[in-house]
Structure 1
């Protein structure tokens, strides 16, 4: 082919594409962009085809997105080159040159090449190929051959198998999209409710011989005009976002990644305001568009499937004078029932709850239900019969998660509980919540229900055991539903949520006791996670203070169960065995205290000392040897360390009070390492130890720094093993760390690393670091301060913070590290007389702000 012609076509294509893009940016009509860009590609391919193939029985088909005339700026060019006969060597060479020319002019061809026999066989054997050919469109070449090939494809297609295959494919795709990454950086093309779901609807229609357009499905009685309008609007929204993504990225990028969210939002006209930033507004718009697609998926897909399988025998059972069962679906005898008797909007769900073999609503019944549900108003809520039915769903519990997700998907929750409407699609760019608020709440309800179901008791046996005997399960489900319902309103969402919960409880016939328990849980749902992860729960005073707030056993059990369900429903990455252990330890200590078995600090210290004496007696050490160790450890040691650590420490230190050592314990249950470092004190030791752990890819869950009477450090760390490491790898990880620590305690110090570059998500999160410093008024020591830091996470952060404290001659007594995905909330107990000076406090805050800003 003439090189000058190729260069000319390349230049002309790029110029025309640029004009098409500029025109799109002027009006932003996706359909017009597709039409004009597709026509330009057809024109260029036609010219190149004529230059490459003359008088041959071959044709060029557009397939996939190009075939359905939905070509995005940077998408691959899906093609099929079809030959009537088996390709000769000359044909293959010419086709290879033709495909190379397409690459040369800036396209990215993805071509299926072969004879009709070969391509028909490929389509028969591969669902993806068959789907691409389903959208085959003639571009150029032998028109008769193209027509015959498409006709043969349609004739050989097993429509029932195709429908089943695409539905299974969609189900598997949705299952894969459950992870944190897909929630935070969703793929517009493949996420649940995304463009691929829209395409699936149309593929099922076309495979059945219907024109793949939503207006056609209206004409066929499969969709209503309003439903078709909703789907077309969602398609326009998602298509525009995907076009903008391609233009901003300059490549085929279908994920709304953090780097591009703000740019895409800006291009689509969103602006920051007092309530939300532009990227949050964009993501909320996408969430609503995909939600519409998911709503109508529940109606359209079963209807299209039913057209194929309607000839098969069906098991139909009469339930009562209003409903009947078809397979595993419930159907209504009179589709006007929900409009005529609004009570049935809730009653159908109650009927489903009482039939274990029913798990869905038949499509025409679902449509009638949805249409009626969209029109309910305050009168529906005011009707006491409706309120009794709604609360009965919680008291029964069966299928509650499914029911609430169904109500939320179709907007019923927001219409019935008005405050709920404000949190639908509300996103939280706080580096650890990965779900919109409504989805997070329903995940917490789901977690709470699983604790009550015996089949799931193996997941969290201790919590499930508590749940099984707890008499107020309804309150727990409602606490899960209301604990974050006031998010996004400004102010304290817990306090604001109490008013919503109290009104709901009064309207839904809860007893005074149930109401008080519900409101207390909503108001204080964060206190247990905060106490367990930010305070020293080995200190009896901390436990006593927590119990003084909780007051009763019922409250403690309910709060523990709600906290477990809440943390697990925030982000899969932040729940681990270590956090589970902290919560259970606080629960057990509090239960003992509330049961009258707890003790004050003096008694606790005495018990710890007696346990240590008993252990060393059994090991054969005499009183003189023990007293020598007690003198070195000092009286405050017994207050700051819990019994388990004390027994470990003294068993290793006795008789070696002046020898540096590093000890490691493996905890396979908590998937952690416990590390003790004992060596002469020197500047920046704590920071250097943190750097060592960072080098070994070990996250610090908690740390306790202590200096003995003879100026040795006795630092204890709880380290989380790398995610994904297997149990048989733990000894090797521990051995490698032991070798490094062995060199360190002998004086081989390491440099503190400079602040590391933050991740993409952190750089685009817009979460400002927060630093608070105040004097501790509980510990009976002078010059003790609490430092709280909330900031974006990165490796080596704790080492950098510790270095600043060391540089300012501030001692760290205890560190509590709470890692929430890419956000940390760390609490440090500090001791320094210098902190009494306001100027020193300001210097510390400034130094910390500088190091946090550098990340």
Structure 2
């Protein structure tokens, strides 16, 4: 004999299976809504065929079955919870539990995660007034079946007796809950393992937008965000596209894991990139492109959430401590009554295009965030940022003042999201939302660069006690502005599809800074820092820093103490901004010790002076001139492994002979030459017995060299020196 709800259960199961299959084939764009509607049909059919329902006497004690939360919003993902409220007009009758068993047990048997509450109208309103976790799901409530008038009464009394009466307290609680959620789950637009729902930029930010708007404006449908003027038509469209992408990722993640899950762990990212049919392009792996698109969408949700709560004056991160200014420094700018910075109007920008950068500078100076309208206008007027604008001295100086501000990241972040940074630095287009899929980098490239700038200011300021050497060197350097430019641009070459990003980045820097009117010497300094930004950390962590020759080679390469200091500061900031895999106590110690050795070598001038470098270069030319054409390729490989001390001490012809000796080594374990010595030669004992004499005491006259060839352990030479 069939159970009363077995046909409804079988129909639901078949329909969900069909919907899921169509979604996975890309043929069910409205899957969320249709999935919710399938559940609605089940409950309506179960209500009509219920054997318990008639005994509850709905006419005397009306009851309704109400969808809550995501089910109420018709955002039903593959393994989402099904949240229900069984609402009774009077007291909850004894037979209510039997009704719930009749309707919900079949869904549990299907494997659905069904959560339910059974309350009277009075209980529901009392709990909603006290508990935010009860209130917010009801804000998204939707009637399914039963007494529709009871649902209408619930929503009406909720507005009159709860929201209007306790609006201020509820908003404060929601602000606190939002702050706590962001602290727990992090900023999903930055994290490489984002939480699709609870993180900043996740779906819960969108839900919070709806709740704030319902609390303050009685919003009924999401589209009311546009109709109420809270966001623009274009912004609503962009928000919808971003949400659709995140929901699609969430559905595929649910299906892939076979359960509800919202943290996008590394092990699932490559699989999802394959499901979304990404292909390698522009030097990026499919998974990097997929994550880049996901981060872009989540960043968009985050920005809309921030903008809306500022417009509603419910910004959980901002409580103004000082009075608003009576007058702004920039004509054409104004402050709203709730403390948001904006333009006087579009005509102000047309009259004075420099306001496009001035508004960010003023925002930092006054500690006032930009209004949503200001960000819209910046986005719409970015076409004014042409070559003449980018090279105007007053614009460049204003941008530099922002870079040198202790709170630079706040303004740079707004510049990035409004498109101004990409317009002012067109090369940023290639790195915006660009992901580096490795164990080191925590942030997308664009945000990593901004973070690097901020780390410099953090370590140079009062908060830099953990790196006292950094703060001391920062105070010593004369060209702080060049350091922050290098920080902002050091990975700009990652937007190029091929080649070493350090080399391509240096070339891009030359073009960028030349356009902005920098002197040639400053252009070359920044290009040098970008080209060499990985050199110190790689050398410190991969070479023997206690070998004097390592410090000498580095000193030869850098040559100038000021450049070394700049490079050290950039290296520390870059490593910290990369993440804990790139910066820890061990790497900090190695880099600090290596820097001190190199700066000591440069300041002493031994083996790294301009004269020594010139001598080595002349010998190099002489060696290559003496070599035959076939030998030159081998010499090219060998020469960088020869130490400065050896190159300064040994004549060019001898270097040629030693290199040829190495070439004859082949597969043999050793090769040597014997140099006869007359009895009166002052170093005969050294040559016969090596670095120790007949008495066992060390001899200072023999300089032993060991050179590590890139392919094989290299030359072992004894070179006589003076007595």
Q: Is the 8 A contact 1:63 1:136 kept in 2?
A: yes
Q: Residue in 2 aligned with 1:354?
A: 365
Among candidates 435, 456, 460, match of residue 467 of structure 2: 460
Q: Residue in 1 aligned with 2:705?
A: 780
Distance 1:49 1:106, change over 3 A: farther
Distance 1:247 1:353, change over 3 A: closer
Question: How far off is 1:194 after superposition?
Answer: 2.3
Among candidates 309, 322, 333, match of residue 323 of structure 1: 333
- The within-5 A match list for 1:36-435 is 36-50=34-48, 51=50, 52-54=52-54, 55-56=57-58, 57=61, 58-96=63-101, 98-155=103-160, 156-157=162-163, 158-178=166-186, 183-273=191-281, 275-305=283-313, 317-320=326-329, 321-326=331-336, 328-355=339-366, 358-373=367-382, 376-394=385-403, 396-435=404-443
- Over residues 206-244 of structure 1, what are the superposed CA-to-partner deviations in whole Å (9 max), with x where a residue is unaligned? 223444545423222222211111111212222222222
Q: Residue in 1 aligned with 2:672?
A: none
- Over residues 121-141 of structure 1, what are the superposed CA-to-partner deviations in whole Å (9 max), with x where a residue is unaligned? 322222222110101111122
Q: Residue in 2 aligned with 1:33?
A: 31
CA distance in 1, matches of 2:126, 2:323: 34
CA distance in 2, matches of 1:374, 1:106: 54
Question: How far off is 1:593 after superposition?
Answer: 1.6
- Over residues 170-216 of structure 1, what are the superposed CA-to-partner deviations in whole Å (9 max), with x where a residue is unaligned? 33333334489982222222232222222222222222344454542
CA distance in 2, matches of 1:209, 1:104: 41
Distance 1:154 1:425, change over 3 A: same
Q: Residue in 1 aligned with 2:10?
A: 11
More displaced stretch, 313-322 vs 468-477: 313-322
- Over residues 745-801 of structure 1, what are the superposed CA-to-partner deviations in whole Å (9 max), with x where a residue is unaligned? xxxxxxxxxxxxxxxxxxxxxxxxxxxxxxxxx99348x6779xxxxxxxxxxxxxx
- The within-5 A match list for 1:745-824 is 780-781=705-706
CA distance in 2, matches of 1:513, 1:314: 44
Distance 1:306 1:524, change over 3 A: closer
Q: Is the 8 A contact 1:60 1:141 kept in 2?
A: yes
Q: Is the 8 A contact 2:406 2:454 kept in 1?
A: no
Among candidates 518, 525, 528, match of residue 526 of structure 2: 518
More displaced stretch, 458-467 vs 93-102: 93-102
Question: How far off is 1:543 after superposition?
Answer: 1.3
CA distance in 2, matches of 1:374, 1:186: 33
- The within-5 A match list for 1:492-507 is 492-507=500-515
CA distance in 1, matches of 2:383, 2:140: 36
SS in structure 2 of the partner of residue 73 of structure 1: coil
* Structure 2 residue runs without a partner (length 5+): 609-702, 717-723
Q: Is the 8 A contact 2:188 2:298 kept in 1?
A: no
Question: How far off is 1:420 after superposition?
Answer: 0.8
Distance 1:315 1:519, change over 3 A: closer
Q: Is the 8 A contact 1:295 1:410 kept in 2?
A: no
Question: How far off is 1:594 after superposition?
Answer: 1.7
CA distance in 2, matches of 1:464, 1:39: 61
Q: Is the 8 A contact 1:215 1:225 kept in 2?
A: no
Question: How far off is 1:348 after superposition?
Answer: 1.6
Question: How far off is 1:460 after superposition?
Answer: 1.6
Distance 1:117 1:204, change over 3 A: same
Distance 1:307 1:195, change over 3 A: closer
SS in structure 2 of the partner of residue 111 of structure 1: strand
More displaced stretch, 63-72 vs 102-111: 102-111
Q: Is the 8 A contact 2:705 2:715 kept in 1?
A: no
Q: Is the 8 A contact 2:358 2:398 kept in 1?
A: yes
SS in structure 1 of the partner of residue 177 of structure 2: helix
CA distance in 2, matches of 1:572, 1:128: 36
Question: How far off is 1:392 after superposition?
Answer: 3.7
For the aligned residue pairs, the C-alpha RMSD in angstroms reads: 3.1
Distance 1:42 1:8, change over 3 A: same
SS in structure 2 of the partner of residue 318 of structure 1: coil
Q: Is the 8 A contact 2:375 2:418 kept in 1?
A: no
SS in structure 1 of the partner of residue 334 of structure 2: strand
CA distance in 1, matches of 2:323, 2:115: 43
CA distance in 1, matches of 2:134, 2:558: 62
Distance 1:214 1:45, change over 3 A: closer
CA distance in 2, matches of 1:266, 1:213: 35
Q: Residue in 2 aligned with 1:21?
A: 20
More displaced stretch, 152-161 vs 521-530: 152-161
Q: Is the 8 A contact 2:188 2:202 kept in 1?
A: no
Distance 1:374 1:159, change over 3 A: farther
CA distance in 2, matches of 1:332, 1:406: 15
Distance 1:131 1:470, change over 3 A: same
Distance 1:461 1:347, change over 3 A: same
CA distance in 2, matches of 1:426, 1:212: 37
Which structure has the larger Rg over C-alpha atoms? Answer: 2
Question: How far off is 1:599 after superposition?
Answer: 9.2
Distance 1:49 1:375, change over 3 A: farther
Question: How far off is 1:74 after superposition?
Answer: 0.8
Q: Is the 8 A contact 2:194 2:264 kept in 1?
A: yes
CA distance in 2, matches of 1:527, 1:473: 20
SS in structure 2 of the partner of residue 389 of structure 1: helix
CA distance in 1, matches of 2:383, 2:259: 41
CA distance in 2, matches of 1:598, 1:192: 54
Q: Residue in 2 aligned with 1:530?
A: 538
Distance 1:214 1:180, change over 3 A: closer
Distance 1:10 1:98, change over 3 A: closer
Question: How far off is 1:509 after superposition?
Answer: 3.7
CA distance in 1, matches of 2:282, 2:524: 34
- Over residues 461-488 of structure 1, what are the superposed CA-to-partner deviations in whole Å (9 max), with x where a residue is unaligned? 2211221232211111011111110014
Q: Is the 8 A contact 1:214 1:232 kept in 2?
A: no
Question: How far off is 1:384 after superposition?
Answer: 4.2
Q: Residue in 2 aligned with 1:670?
A: none
SS in structure 1 of the partner of residue 298 of structure 2: helix
Q: Residue in 2 aligned with 1:771?
A: none
Q: Is the 8 A contact 2:309 2:315 kept in 1?
A: no
- The within-5 A match list for 1:668-679 is none
Count of matched residue pairs? 605
Distance 1:304 1:213, change over 3 A: farther
SS in structure 2 of the partner of residue 183 of structure 1: coil
More displaced stretch, 204-213 vs 37-46: 204-213
* TM score, norm. by length of structure 1: 0.66
Distance 1:563 1:48, change over 3 A: same
CA distance in 2, matches of 1:261, 1:586: 38
Question: How far off is 1:167 after superposition?
Answer: 3.6
Distance 1:388 1:534, change over 3 A: same
Question: How far off is 1:87 after superposition?
Answer: 3.1
SS in structure 2 of the partner of residue 79 of structure 1: strand
CA distance in 1, matches of 2:246, 2:419: 20
SS in structure 2 of the partner of residue 566 of structure 1: helix
More displaced stretch, 323-332 vs 154-163: 323-332
Structure number with the higher strand fraction is: 1
